[in-house]
Amino acid sequence: MSLQQEIIQRLGVKPVIDVDAEIRKRVDFLKDYVVKANASGLLIAISGGIDSAVATGLCKLATDELSKETGKEYMTLGVFQPYGEQSDIADSYAVAEAFQLTHKVETNIQEAVDEIALETEYALKSLGIHKHVSRGGKGNIKARTRMVTQYALAFELGLIVVGTDHASEAITGFFTKYGDGAVDVTPLSTLNKRQVRQLAAKLGVPDSVLNKAPTAGLWEGQTDENELGITYEDNSSFLEGKAIDPAAREKLERQYQRTEHKRSPIPGI
């Protein structure tokens, strides 16, 4: 078995999907989890990107169906988490509007992130290291601060935290380990980016979100493809078992191997 085949098998990506069947399966998965957890609903952070938009659509379908079937109100809480001024926050609100979210809140993480960064710099200084927190380090703080806030809200409201992780992120390790990757459920996990887009079109994700460049929102101008040097087109084709440019394949497989620690559970002995 080739490394490509091993990766596909491990991540569970299908070469072709039935969009309606995939939506149904993922909505049922969310409903089942909420009921078994005796939760009040689902929490999804809406970044303004396509992944969180699709997850929002699935969550809203799940909680609407549960409310109708049981007579008890289940909520989908949409959380907007800008750092200061977010240039594309209108896209986050457009997603909430498209899926008619009744429950939504905005939690600006700037002050919390800046305080953590400052305390980190003080700690470094006490070690004789005089430096500012790096750009990547501050991006990491942003991701983790967002998760702290999500879990604080989820705890108070009895909600399940929904992640947007999918196979095209898993293969590259492009997520913050046990930061934005540590959630309760990941309803997109066996889809690649192309398939996420297929679900987005069917669910009715706004065009402004469908057509934007994917970004983790860690700093101004950051995009996933520029950061990794790998296009989502090649990434998705690879995960569907197709042949791609040998240089792109080598880069993707090397990225997969060097980020194994991110996909593995916390080791013990």
Please write the tens of the pLDDT for every residue from 39-61.
Answer: 999 999 999 999 999 999 999 99
CATH of domain 3-109+149-261: 3.40.50.620
Task: Check the CA dihedral 205-211-215-217 and report its sign.
Answer: negative
Count of CB atoms situated within 10 Å of the CB of 190:
19
The catalytic site residues sit at 51, 169
DSSP state of 181: T
Provide the mean pLDDT of the chain. 93
Burial class of residue 107 (count of CB atoms within 10 Å of its CB; 0-12, 13-18, 19+): middle
Q: What is the pLDDT, as a whole number, of residue 179?
A: 75
- Domain limits, the chain: 3-109+149-261
DSSP state of 174: -
> Residue 63 CA to chain centroid, in angstroms?
19
Least confident stretch, 67-71, 114-118, 225-229: 225-229
pTM: 0.93
CA 179 vs CA 76, 132, 147, 204: distances in Å: 21, 21, 6, 29
Helix, strand, or coil (residue 84)? coil
Angle of helix 232-239 versus helix 3-11 axis, rounded to 10:
90
Q: How confident is the model at residue 180 (pLDDT cuts 50, 70, 90)?
A: confident
Which of 173-177, 188-192, 215-219 has maximum average pLDDT?
A: 188-192
Q: What is the pLDDT, as a whole number, of residue 216?
A: 58
Q: What is the CA radius of gyration of the chain?
A: 19
- Report the C-alpha gap between 184 and 256 in whole angstroms: 23
CB 191 within 8 A of CB 166: yes
- Nearest CA-CA partner of 205 in 103, 77, 104, 99: 99
CA 7 vs CA 23, 124, 174: distances in Å: 23, 39, 15
Q: What is the pLDDT, as a whole number, of residue 218?
A: 59
